[in-house]
Chain A
Amino acid sequence: MDPSQYQSNELAQFIAQEKERAMVNEMVGKLTNVCWDKCITGTPGSKFSSSESSCLSNCARRYMDMSVIIMKRFQNMQ
């Protein structure tokens, strides 16, 4: 492999990693946005109540579960 090929592979890999990182950040950001609205109903306190923190973690997981169901249903309709 000549040096310029190595460099362009290395850069392609770097870009793919950064892209994945950005997609993960986007997912976390979107979920936090949605779950905050669902779970933090009153004025923000100096800490989360245990029901608020479990609501937040449940929310993220149930959203992902829902995502799987939607994909399956959608693929069944193709």
Chain B
Amino acid sequence: MNEMANHLVKHMVRVAPRMSVRCASSSTPARPIKSDPVAIPEELPQELKDSIYPKIGKREIVGFGWNGLPTYVDRCEFPFPSIRFKETTPEILALREKEKGDWKKLSVEEKKALYRSSFCQTFAEFDDAPTGEWKSIIGLALMGIVVTGWCLIAVHQMAYDRLPVTITEEWKEKMVEHMVRQGQNPLQGVSSIWDYENNRWKK
């Protein structure tokens, strides 16, 4: 117990300069016994065992993870979570036995099975794989634009006054005719381009 404490402290001080005191907290699970992967390690106090083990089932605690809690998440910045992904079954235990021998003797399926027993998804799957999220983004954006369009039409119909009659083409033509008859702006404006002799616009 004492050498474990020494060992832990020596490594904390020497190995990682960005260590914080959180590693010395009492909620850090102690390291499990290497030889027996399924056994609940006896160094853990009972209250810790009661709080951890119902939640993670029979999965093996293998490390500190990122905050000392026994959770599994695939994170690209912390490749190694604190627990394995799959619960330890007899098949997996058999694979672990084979793993202790020569790795060249493992087949590709066995290697993949070993990987999947420890990890949920590969980096290619959780990090780089296309999610198709762009479809929902574009769809929702377009739906938003359409709903805005409806709101604009509704407001236009219900709230705005109708356009005044002075905007119609007939009114505007009549207006120009009156301006010309009155001789408005004879030097540079509308009357200057009306041909009064021939009663038409100047060519």
Do A and B assemble together?
A: no
